[in-house]
Structure 1
């Protein structure tokens, strides 16, 4: 019975052999062959003889159950007496075929009679592979956790691992077996280790309160910050999430000069030409939240006279009222976003440029030559962004597609992309597709129209287009009739007949020879009919009186269908 998991917890406990019992007759001496017996019992491993309690024999490994009886021998007075057998010698570590192990015994008393001889003193038996011969190897366990000294929670410690000797059966044996097998113990079984001590987060002091974000209004705030000097480790106190604090600033009214919109362009004493437009300046007060509380007018002294002098320069502006038929420019467009000069998505400058333009309006095309050109203006700006530009393409349609330049923010522009890298808008096949029933495919190679199959040359180009078998509309095979039966399609011979005799154009797109032959025969036949008609219908030399002319019959159609 094989041993299960429970067998590893129990073992056989063996008691000493009994004395040798000889079965003899009363008149004969008690000598010769007899029997010895002993008791065995199944006990739990690790218990002493006094603590061992018998359990069921089925809990122990039945295959390793020791024998309970054996043959013994008691020498008669005249027989040779030998000592018990010694232990078996060890088998070689490398179990070669034919190796043996031995045991021996020596003579204690020589036989008294010359007819008596001593039994064999040496026995041998072959070494059996996987029974008496094993291979061995070391097995080392994983490192244990770092063990610290008593009452210590961090610092220097040590960690251990175990070394076992395993035989070829997978069982753990004494370490001496591996040493006898010639193996060298090269594993380190202990080493020092360190357990990190818990470190709490260390923060710097709060910085001074910064200036208010706005000098006036109800939205102004001041902030202060602190930074992490040391991160937390192990079980130390973690760093807080709040590294910035804000507080509202005192609410102050905001005074500012407010410019009105430009007035219409006024020309003095004329209907068109150069003129002047103006706008008004007023002092207002607000609290930083215009949608909720719009600015209110106040005395001019509260906004400051110095700022007013700077704004006074922008109170008037020249303008132009175009006369009928004249060319003129539109109003300036809004300033564009701030752009930086970029190279491969990176900029090496901090000041950008923004631009605006005025477009020309031509009222009379005859005056186009005298019209001004579109006007551009640029100015420096701060906080520019570096954009990249990339060509975009649409889908192919009839071997054409749309191509445009797109900025990295998704805006389509008319400049910025390199013209040398512009994708093609028209797709061409090389060489051109001139074969009958061929066309340029989306992949840029010549292909055949629907219903035709490509026949390629050895160089991978289209040679000609041949009709695909089974595509002909006249070939309706497997069509069910009214009775539910399958109507047979045309036979293969009929297909060949239709393919080669009834079609004027061959698979390669060329006209077949029989077409030329039929044409020539038809032409000769027409000539023959014309000549024969001329000979038959030729008028004779006899003059006949022609009948009087008759009036032509004229039919009138009134639109009815009953004619």
Structure 2
């Protein structure tokens, strides 16, 4: 068998076809002394021609036809020998049903022309094959391609043109076949293959002219700038020149100095011709030059007043003088008014039924001499109406107890400590008292509001639970911890220094509250000692009858005893 190489064809293959001639006689390579029989080869000519001119067309290069559809140029053949069976040619294939089923086959037959010699058989006389392998079960349909780009006339870059698409006759296995195959089967072609189109011509972006420069954003200083703008009159289309992103321009203004009136600091209160009383405070108005930023490195400098133009109006002139008061010794002095408080509404359970609120300010009273306190006013308040107030609640706050005293203040719901707002009748006490009062020796009022004993002493309670008296705790001299009493409470102990002197001091009163006997003895001994000193002084200072006494006259001494144990 001859072998031919399949060469891929170009797009023009669909316009060409293969043409075959008749098969040659079967050629067998026979030996001279042997008969010419057996297997041989027969061939035929094929050529590629323009489709539609198979009979007399000019031969083309084989690469211009579809290599997959190229017929065989040669095939094997067989000439029977004298002793072999001779069979006729194969008959035509039977028709395949349409549509084909999966296991459908077609057949062809042949018959014996000459029987073989003895002990030999004839080849098969029936052949079969699946119908699908022979293409008899293929279906066909038209496939339409996508539209082409808009094709313009020669040398045109925009305007009207056409778009085209093609119909392909496609076999069910995906192979594109001749359009005539679909035409023979009467398939409908209702697709439009050519349409008109239009290509937009490129349009460049068109901008307006630049506007005039604006006024400088600052009349003076170095921060000013001017701006100019332009707008888009027509946007770009297709491949036209696009519009720029910057449609505005800025540039700095010429630097000019700034001249501003500036109020200085208030002077101390000056009373003319006096040391206290009503006076006046003054401040200066100066024309200052700067470069737009008052706080920059180059600080403002004073210049001539003419640079700043007209001075302040009459109302502003009053801001240069401010009445003041220098308190005289013993007078009451009022501080400056505080700033106005936030606007508050009268609220009930967090809700208010009014639209107008109140805000207040105050000034404190500084008393120079405590003796004049009664003639001084109390803290001064002022209130005024306001809008946009908020509801606040007020609550008394207290600090921890310290020596039976604590601080009490009023706090608003936003956490600000205020004066006023809380109900006075609900104000907690600032000093804690015991009832009944603690009058027993070495007793004091505890933080629990009951009477207890000092450190080193133990409470002795009555049957009603009150303190009867304080007795010294045995062995308490070396103990520094608090003693827990039978009342179950802890007493605050004195300091270490108080403990030291308390251990070495003589107590004139006993645990039962009565004065001890040694107190009376010491008092009597002291009285006798004083009498003795007076008598000795009198004897030494008495002069003889002839001479004057050199001692100065003595004032009479009056002794009195009021029963004070500290005497």
Name the TM-score, length of structure 1 as normaliser: 0.42
**What TM-score do you get using the length of structure 2 for normalisation?**
0.42
> Which one has a bigger Cα radius of gyration?
2
